[in-house]
Structures are given as structure tokens and as C-alpha cells.
Structure 1
Amino acid sequence: MDLDRAAASSGLTREELLKRAAVGGAVIVAGGSLVRSAQGAPAGLAASTPKRGGTFRIGVSGGSAKDFIDGQNIVTRPDQARIVTGWETLVVFDSQFKLKFDGLAEEITPNKKGTVWTIRVRPGIEFHNGKTLGAADVKYSLTRLVNKKLGLFGGAALSSVDPKQIKIMDKRTIRATLKKPDGTILDALGQYIAGIVPVGYSPTAVGKANPNIGTGPYMLKSFTPGQQSVHVRNPNYWRTGQPYFDQVVIIDFPDDTARVNALLGGQIDAMTDVPPAQVAVVNGHSGTKVLESPSAAWTPICMRVDAAPFTDVRVRQAMRLIANRPQMVAQALSGHGKIGNDLYAPFDESYAKSLPQRQQDIEKAKSLLKAAGQENLTVDLQSTNGALGMNEGAQVFAQQAKAAGVTVNVKILDSGAFYGDQYLKWPMSTDFWGSRNYLSQVAAGSLPTAPYNETHWPADKKFIALYNQAVVTTDRKKQAEIMFEMQKMEYDTGGYIIWGFSTLLDGYSSKVQGLKQGDKGVLPMNAFGHGYRTIWFA
């Protein structure tokens, strides 16, 4: 449906439709279709009236001396926790994983073909140094995001943006001409790793900006990689009344037990990734609770399709048949999650639900391994405590593999070693991903150009051709058909064992207010309190 037809069907003029899209919580996507954000908020936790003050201390899983802070890139959980303090996106995903105009953009609209996008930012927003956000900053941010030399996570889904075809129209408006029509642009711009940075921000390196500034609710005061960072309230923040804390301190806690003990002992006010076995302990302790949020977060076991023995598709298929997914969710997540089917992006409306749920089949796995000449196979599985389910899932899988005559040696590394020079090169490893729609996830992890393609997929060019076709298809039904074919290819011959989707388990002190039950979790703690601005102390 083009914009004129969309306007006619809703009884509005074209101009009125665009205006409502910009200010009324609706989104214009490529092709002109109108998608409304979810109305109303889920039932919240008992909350007091917001008030200012205090230092909020959060313990985050993982981290190492290689931690960094960059407005457009992350690797580990502490990186995630820090990026949301200071950087914001043009559009956002709401609590039900729907796109919403509640970010820096006042308007984002395409032409009829979806090849030219006009972006206009809100007036009067300032960076931490007092500079007013403008069109030049948006142009610079998009250009930096797609800079292949930097390899930024936030730019993976924006490959259709031509940095040479971004024109400044006025102080607040840019017009970007794409290399091809792209119906995923808004999805990409809404990801928390697509932050808007000022002109001149760290142009040649990741995490080297000085000053390290954005438009977000908190300003960076100090940072010791592998230990902690301190962020102070932005006095000129554009959202009236927010944020509430005077200061936010983000502390690395690679050890689960130490993190839980710090929460129970009052040394921190909240924590990410409560071990499932400790949920009852945290809930049973006076003054602490666990927030459970449904999530599309996944901690796959990754097999490199171009590294022995996984170059043989029969070996990959056998490994998938070894996995007893219900048992993995029950044991690795203590039941706090949903069973996976070797496919990601279950929040996407085009998720391939019709594909048969894969079941454990040890005899067939043995047969496949024998046919591949890999009986009594021994493999190393590298893992780290980067997110809930990585180590636990690896260990349960290793136990299950014994029944098929396969020895899986789980090698648990510290975060610095796992995410060091060998990262993305391990023949077999775990990893973690957050919630994304399907095509955005493909761009981030399942293309040769993806920044985090740990399985080195795809094995042929058909998948790439289908992806290129899907992103330019604005007819949702036709696009869904293409996406199904892509998912079927991954389901049949891919390199991921996606055994489950974890419920986000966040521990918090009862004095922390503003958290919500029922949010679909993109990141922990209701997206880290939307940059720690929507939570406060009672």
C-alpha cells in the first residue's frame, strides 16, 4: 500500500497521515503501510510517585579489561549496560517490541518506493557538551554506522544506506537516498546499537571517543574497563523530569555467586542474569525480588560451517538431533524459558512456526555421524559466563552427547579470552543474542558481511539472494514467503543449535521502583530502565 492509498483508507490526507505518524505513535514503513504501536501499558509493579536522588548501583554479568563504551557498538553485557546511559536512537521499540516514535526523531518518512527516507529530529535536544542535536549529527551518525572499516554492530542492518547520498535539507532534516529499497530501515534505526553521536565522534576507532558524549540521560564521569563505570545525571536532558537518579554505577560481576551475594548484602541495588537456581533465594530474601520478562534472547551453540568436522552438514544435523531441548530449558534455565527450534527471532510476525519442532533422536544422530565418518567424535565447545544459559546450556548438551558416542569438552573461558582474538573463529562455541526481528538478525549474524557471523553461514549464495530480495519487498505477504524459505534453509542446514529462549531474570532491591511486569525483554531490567531514566528509589 503506498502513502496515498494508506491515507485514503484511513480517511486522512497524505499530509495528515504523515503528521500523525510522526507524533501519534505510528510508524510509516517502506511502501507506506501504517503500523500502530501497542496501546496501553502492561500491569506494573507497585510503584511510588517518582522522585529524584540517590546512586543506583547495578551488577552486570561478564566483562573484562577489554570492556569499552561506544554509542554504536557492543560486545558484552556490560557494554550493553553502558551504551544505554548516554546514547539514544531515532525511533524505539516499546514494551511489546513494537516500533514507536518516542526517540530523537520527530519524523521519519519514505517516498513511495522506499528508496528515499527523510529524517527530522526534534528541536532543542542537546548533547552532553551543550551542542544542539542537528541534521549534521544524524548524517555523521549514519555515515559512521555504515563505515566498513569500523565494523560497527549498529551498522549491520543499515547496509542499504549510501553514505554519499545523505543530504542535509535544513538544520534538523536529512534526506537519505538508499542503494536499494529497504523495508527494514526503521527496525535498524530502532536498535539500541544505532545511537546518534555528534559530528567528529571517534571517526577511526571503536570506544576511543573523547569526549564520549551522546544525548542520553546520563553523562560518563569515569570508566575502568573490567571493573566499573560512573555516570552522572544529564542536567539538560530533553525528557521533562527525567532521569531520577543522581548517579548510576555499573559494576562488572563475572561471577554469578558474587553478584547474587552483592545484591542480598545490599552492595548493589540490582543485578542482571539471576541464575535460575537462585531465583527462589532472591525472592525469599527480605527486600529483594526477581523481575521475570519474556524474551527472544537466545544463547546458541554455534558450529562453524567452514571448519571441520562441521563442514559436513550431516555432522551439524546430528548435533542438532542430540539436543534434548526440553531438558536443556529445564536444567540450564531451571524452566525459565521457552523451547527453541534452531530458529531465531520468535517475536517476528513472520517467524516460521509451522516448521516441525525438532526432537532428540539419538539413533538418527549416530547414523548421520557414521555416514559422515565421525563415529566417536570428540570436539571442544568454548564458552564463557557472558549471559544466562551459555555455560549451563553447554554443560547439559555435553552430557546429552555421550548417548550418541560424542565427547564434548566444554572449555569455560573468562570473558576477555573468549571475546578476544579468537572470537568468531572457534569451530564450536556458545554466544548470546538479544531480541531482534528476523531480517535485522540476519544482517547482524547470518551474512558474510555481518559483524558477528560466528557460524560462518551461509554455505551457498541462495540465502544471500533471498535476503536481498526480502529487504526490498514491501508486500508483507510476499516478504513473509521469502523469509520462510530463508528460515527453512537455516533449519535444515544451518550452524546454530538454538535450544531455547531465556526469560530475563533480573534481581532488584524492593526500593527500586518503575519496573514493569509483562514487558517483552530486549535487554535486562526492562531495557536497563530505558537508560536508567524510568526507574527510581522509593
Structure 2
Amino acid sequence: MKELDFHKSRFMAGKIGRREFIGRAIALGVSVGAASTLAAEAAFAAGPKKGGHLRTGISHGSTTDSLDTATYENGFMGAISGGTFNQLGQVKADGQIHPDVAESWDASPDAKTWTFNLRKGMTFHNGKSVEADDVIASFQHHMGKDSKSAAKSLLDQVVSIKADGKHTVVFDLSGGNADFPFVASDYHIAIKPAKDGKIDPIGKHGTGSYMIESFEPGVRATFKRNPNYHDGEVAHVDSVEMITIADVAARTNALSTGEIDMMDRVDLKTVHLLKRNKNLKVETTTGFAHYTMPMRTDTPPFDNNHVRMALKHAMDREAILKTVLRGYGSVGNDHPISPANQFYAAELPQRSYDIDKAKFHLKKAGLSSLNVELSAADAAFAGAVDAAVLYKEQAAKAGINIKVIREPNDGYWSNVWLKKAWCFCYWGGRPTEDWMFTTAYAADAKWNDTYWKNDRFNTLLLAGRAELDPKKRREIYVEMQSIVRDDGGAMVPLFNNYVFATAKNVEHGKMAGNWDLDGNRFMERWWFS
């Protein structure tokens, strides 16, 4: 209809608002649903609009948070990393690694030497130009025997880093690694300005699209657009405010009443109510994220693999998927590799709820029953406490008596995870098998939250990293998934979709799924229509 096209063009030009456009479309005989869809399509087709203040309610955030990127372990700080800092590369919606601080890179034939060419003219928020020495100091902050960085295990393979002029950095590795550009772009390894060969770990100056104006750990952070950002196609809003709202009901209410423009991790028990709100949008992305239940294998009774296997068989994953995730995900197979990963082992039998096998493994452990404590809090993931209670009922049929310990949300990642013998956890996952296994399953990994060590696994980890033949790499990673599944200390019951909600006028392009909220880059990728 020519008249409808006329109104659509005026809407795209900003001459009439969304509500007026929908009203005029309905008057022309278009259904309400079709009119809303047309409005959304027109808003996206019009392209990103500059301006506005984006208010975000985030489920994470702790009073122990620090701007030292080596310590980042929750979604609030991950979002700061995505908005304020840059890494050598970035993962986009296609799941591949793309240039960021580095404009290009290349490898030696054996993938043991990697050369990164830095973007010229790039500056930090304090005006300093980005040079090779800054990159070297930023990486060295996460390396060495005294480093406490979560990225330390990823960089143990680095033998040396050296500058080749001001804008080239050369990494020599102990063995070949075809995935090294992914590793070098881990969100912990932010490029910060160096002085006398060192960075200020808690310094707020990065190269990112938004500059930190204020930071109150566990409360809020505010940002303003970086006028000198290297990519003029992003960073659409003028300013951003991130607020920690750990309680999902409070977060939902804040969005519903217009106090915030977007929220992460919606309550799946009430997501149908959000969908009824005509002023809001519920959206989802699928990637590598998963929920785990790490058992400390250095602590009885979890040091006995038969106990671990009994607990794995005593869970009805399908029931928990349906009850807790409302279908927004898929069941896990007790290893962290997602169906979205290149070398996912689809051939491994899916572990199922099997009381007889649970009892069999208890007997092998010399037990007729088992009493254990399981720490849970919704800080781990929305619905974690409900999942624990449901699992308790399921496991009781095998003679496993679980005492659910409801932990406080605040301080959960400091006081429970990596400390309590058994708890709930969530992982954003990683785009490559080596990255995921190195981060959380290698014997010496800082985030090896099960304290698990398996000699065969660790031998294969090095072999898979250096192998360049895809067929041989697949064989290695399939065996590693099998080892973790049948010997590891982590139960991996679910792979979760990221489910979040925004006001109707918040727009974006195709989203990345490597982390929540567009790979933690919503600040620079999203805009107001």
C-alpha cells in the first residue's frame, strides 16, 4: 500500500513515533501483530540512531569487585570489560575472532609463532597512544608464577613476547596453537596503558567505546561515550548506567516500570508475563553457556569417582530443563563442550536419570547411602535453588540424602565457589575446546573449580592444542570430553540460552552468543530506535 509505505518512510525518518505508525497501520487494515513487526523491521532498517542514556539492570555485581581485569568473574565486570576495554581481537555474531586492538595477525607454519599487527592511531582514554609495550605489559600482568589471574593458565604456553617496532607484537609459544588469537582475546586480557613496563591493574583507562565515570563495586557504574573510539560504526548511545539488581523480581519490576531500559537473566517462571507487556521485548541467544555443579575432588566424599558417578546418574536432567529453564536450553552430558563447538562429541551416549546405576556406583564406593551438602544461591543462576530442591527429591530415590544450603547472593563467588565442597556455578563457555578446557579443567588452572587432575586429559590437552589436522584434533577432543564426562568432578546438567528483556525502543543487529548481552558488548552495539 502506498499510504502504508509513506507512513513507514516517515517513521524511519523519525517524523512520527512508533505508536503513531502502528496506529496508522492498523487504521489501514493491518493486524496489531503485523503492525508491530513492521515497526520493528522499519526501526532496524533505519539503522542505528545516535543519542540517549542506556540504563541496565544486571543480576551480578559484588562489593569485592575490582577494576583489575585479572579478577573478573561475573557478568557485571564482564560487561565493563566489553564496554571500557579492548582485547587484541573480539568474537562477533558469526562466532569467529575479528580484529580489535590488533588489525591483523599471522602465524608460522607450525603455529608456534604468532605476529599481531596493532591498529595505528588508537589511543587510551587518557590520550596515550597504544603501542607494543602496552600490549606486552598487559599480557605480563596475567603471567608468571605469582600471577593470580584467571587467564594465567591460558598464557602458560607463552614462552616469550617481544616488540618488533611500535606496532607489532610477536608471541613465541611452547607448542603450536591454531586457536591462539581466541586465547589472546580472552576478556581478562584487557589492553591497558603501561608505564615503566607495568600497567596499573586497577586503572580505569582502556581503549573501549565507553569511558568509566564512576564505579561503586556491587552497586553501579556509569560511562560516557569515548569521542576518540577507533570504530565510528558503533557506540551509539551517549551514556550508560549499569546497576546491580541481584533480585530478579526487583530487576523485572524496574524494567516494567521504566526505571531501566534492559535487564539480563529474566525469571523464566514469569517470562510469559513479560511477553504480554507491549512495551517490552524478551530476547534470547544460544551459544556456549552452561550450568555446572562442581565437586571438589580433593575433598571426601567427592574424591571417590564412584560417588561422583552416583550423583551424576541420580539427576533427572530433562525434568530440571523443563521446570527450571522452561525449555530455554538443552540437557548437558557432564562435559562443558557445547553442540555449537566445532568438535562437539555428539556420539557420546547422553547420560540419563538411572537410579539403578546410581545405586551401583554407591555400592562400588562401599556405601549403601550417602549424606552430602549442596550449596546453592540464585547468584549462580536464576533457579539454582529450585534446581537444588528438585534434585534433592530425585536423588533421594537412590539413597542419596542432599542437604541444600541456601547461600547469600552477595559474596557467593568469593565465599562459596572454589571454597565449598559442592555448589552451583555457571559458565559462559568458550568458542574453542582448548580455551574451555584450559580455563577450567587443566590441572593447574586457577578456575579448576573441581581441583581435578587427570594425567591422560592433561597430556591430550597439549596434544590437541598443537595438532593442526582437524580430523586428529576431533579425535583428541572427543576423548577429552569422554574423560571429563566419566571421571571429572563437574556435573554439567544443562546448557542454557541467554534470556534477557529490553524496552521496545532498544535495538541491535545480529547478536554474538559467546557471552550474555551480545557477547558482553551491548554498550557499543545497541541503540535506541
Q: Which residue of 1 aligns with 2:373?
A: 380
**Deviation readout 1:421-461 (Å, 9 max, x if unpaired):** 55312211111101312111111100122121111112x32
Deviation at 1:281, TM superposition (A): 1.2
Tell me the TM-score normalized by structure 1: 0.86
Q: Which amino acid aligns with 2:185?
A: G
Of 245, 251, 254, 1:262 maps to 254
Of 483, 489, 502, 2:483 maps to 489
Q: Which residue of 1 aligns with 2:113?
A: 116
**How many correspondences in the alignment?**
486
> Is contact 2:138-2:198 (8 Å) kept?
no
Deviation at 1:405, TM superposition (A): 2.0
Deviation at 1:184, TM superposition (A): 2.7
Deviation at 1:179, TM superposition (A): 2.4
Q: Which residue of 2 aligns with 1:135?
A: 132
More displaced stretch, 182-191 vs 417-426 = 417-426
Structure 2 residue 353 is the aligned partner of structure 1 residue 360: yes
SS of the residue corresponding to residue 370 of structure 1 reads: helix
> Is contact 2:192-2:199 (8 Å) kept?
no
SS of the residue corresponding to residue 276 of structure 1 reads: coil
Structure 2 residue 164 is the aligned partner of structure 1 residue 169: yes
SS of the residue corresponding to residue 427 of structure 2 reads: coil
Of 42, 46, 49, 2:47 maps to 49
Distance 2:449 2:507 in 1: 38
Of 283, 286, 290, 1:291 maps to 283
Distance 2:514 2:234 in 1: 21
Structure-to-structure mapping, 1:212-223, within 5 angstroms: 212-223=204-215
RMSD of aligned residue pairs (Cα, Å)? 2.1
Deviation at 1:73, TM superposition (A): 4.1
Q: 1:331 to 1:245 in 2, by over 3 A?
A: same
Structure-to-structure mapping, 1:265-414, within 5 angstroms: 265-346=257-338, 347-386=340-379, 387-414=381-408
Distance 2:102 2:386 in 1: 41
Q: Which amino acid aligns with 2:125?
A: H
Deviation at 1:295, TM superposition (A): 2.5
Q: Which amino acid aligns with 2:407?
A: L
Deviation at 1:44, TM superposition (A): 7.9
Q: 1:226 to 1:202 in 2, by over 3 A?
A: farther
Q: 1:389 to 1:191 in 2, by over 3 A?
A: farther
The share of aligned pairs that are identical, in percent, is 29
Q: Which residue of 2 aligns with 1:12?
A: none
Q: Which residue of 2 aligns with 1:17?
A: none
**Deviation readout 1:366-398 (Å, 9 max, x if unpaired):** 222133233331211112223335334323222
Structure 2 residue 415 is the aligned partner of structure 1 residue 417: no
Of 71, 74, 77, 2:72 maps to 74
Deviation at 1:76, TM superposition (A): 1.6
Q: Which amino acid aligns with 1:527?
A: G
Q: Which amino acid aligns with 1:408?
A: I
Q: Which residue of 1 aligns with 2:202?
A: 209
**Deviation readout 1:175-213 (Å, 9 max, x if unpaired):** 2222222223122123333322221499598xx523x11
Distance 1:201 1:419 in 2: 34
**Deviation readout 1:67-110 (Å, 9 max, x if unpaired):** 22234541122121222111112122121312233x12122111
Q: Which amino acid aligns with 2:508?
A: G
SS of the residue corresponding to residue 299 of structure 1 reads: strand
SS of the residue corresponding to residue 486 of structure 1 reads: helix
SS of the residue corresponding to residue 380 of structure 1 reads: strand
More displaced stretch, 391-400 vs 285-294 = 391-400
More displaced stretch, 139-148 vs 473-482 = 139-148
Distance 2:148 2:351 in 1: 34
Distance 1:500 1:45 in 2: 37
**Deviation readout 1:465-498 (Å, 9 max, x if unpaired):** 1111211112221122111221111111111111
Q: Structure 2: which 5+ residue stretches go unaligned?
A: 1-39
Distance 2:144 2:83 in 1: 24
Q: Which amino acid aligns with 1:68?
A: S
Distance 2:95 2:42 in 1: 19
Q: 1:498 to 1:176 in 2, by over 3 A?
A: same
Deviation at 1:45, TM superposition (A): 9.2
Q: Which amino acid aligns with 1:367?
A: F
Q: Which amino acid aligns with 1:180?
A: G
Distance 1:177 1:515 in 2: 37
> Is contact 1:291-1:525 (8 Å) kept?
no
Q: 1:442 to 1:51 in 2, by over 3 A?
A: same
Q: 1:307 to 1:426 in 2, by over 3 A?
A: same
Structure 2 residue 497 is the aligned partner of structure 1 residue 532: no
Q: Which amino acid aligns with 1:110?
A: A
SS of the residue corresponding to residue 286 of structure 2 reads: strand
Q: Which residue of 2 aligns with 1:65?
A: 63
Distance 1:243 1:472 in 2: 38
